[in-house]
Amino acid sequence: MTADRPRPATAREVAAALADAPLGEARELVERYAEDPRAQVRQAVARTRRRIERDEAERGRVRGMYALQDELAGGGVAVGVDEVGRGALAGPLTVAAVCLPDEPVVWGLNDSKQLSPRRREALAAQVADVALAIGIAHVEPRDIDRDGMAASLRRAMAAAVADTGLDPDVVLIDGNPVHAHPRERCLVKGDARVAAIAAASIVAKVTRDALMVALDEEWPGYHLAACKGYGSPEHIAAIRARGLTPVHRVSFCGNFLETPRLF
């Protein structure tokens, strides 16, 4: 306990202190009140122990992501790459490339799909603060229609890595081989296993989501801010009723319109 904070006395005060304490202080409180006979205190100590165990497991998970990244990089420079928007009907394909230092660790890194929007935004801000480099690339719908997704993904990943300004020793990509970089190494579920790939997945998602919110203002009625360009029932109904816009991928929407109509 800090010197200027009074020592909890009643069972209710002890329980409140345990619930509110930062983890370092919580460990001290658990040790102090481990043998307290009061039922409310015993329950609070048990809850706090579980909180500490969850935190230790989470920290171990994230440290494992950094350890695997360092192993794959062989101590060299690693850039993690991930994309978002591959299956969307509207909006760009967005790729992010991120190079993270070993310290400070960005606690909470994970596959962006496992995180709430608020948590993604908070982590994206942390990544922006600590990253050694971040690269972003977009492929617009008309180019996806022209070139196809495989070529678009390859080009976007190469462009995002180039945008970092780095010459990495290894480019770590989530999923299957893309052939976007001569030193790429692909890992299935890499966005949940490697720190830099997880960071890239978060940055790509937050970046593209913001673009889709802006496109919703430009093209109202298609629910782009809500569905982020994916095929929600409301989005598909709007396509059928209104036709396609320049931000739609015509080649992805053939099932919704017999004859694609453009603005």
pLDDT digit string (tens) for 55-111? 899 899 999 999 999 999 998 999 999 999 999 999 999 999 999 999 999 999 999
pLDDT over 70 at 6, yes or no: no
Q: pLDDT-derived band of residue 21, with 50, 70 and 90 as boundaries?
A: confident
Q: Reply yes or no on whether the pLDDT at 128 is more than 80.
A: yes
Check: CB of residue 131 under 8 Å from CB of residue 99: yes
Report the pLDDT averaged over residues 176-205: 96
| Strand 78-84 to 170-174 pairing | parallel
Domains and CATH numbers, the chain: 11-70 (no CATH), 76-207 (3.30.420.10)
Question: What is the model's pTM?
Answer: 0.85
Sheet holding 170-174, edge to edge: 133-139, 93-99, 78-84, 170-174, 184-187
Q: Once rounded to an integer, what is the mean pLDDT over residues 228-239? A: 96
DSSP conformation letters of 129-153:
HH-SEEEEEEE-HHHHHHH-HHHHH
Q: What is the mean pLDDT of residues 143-171?
A: 97
Q: Is the pLDDT of residue 1 over 60?
A: no
Residue 251: CB atoms within 10 A of its CB come to 13
User: Mean pLDDT in the chain?
Assistant: 92
8 Å CB contact between 174 and 187: yes
Between residues 193 and 21, which one has the greater pLDDT? 193
pLDDT higher than threshold 70 for residue 180: yes
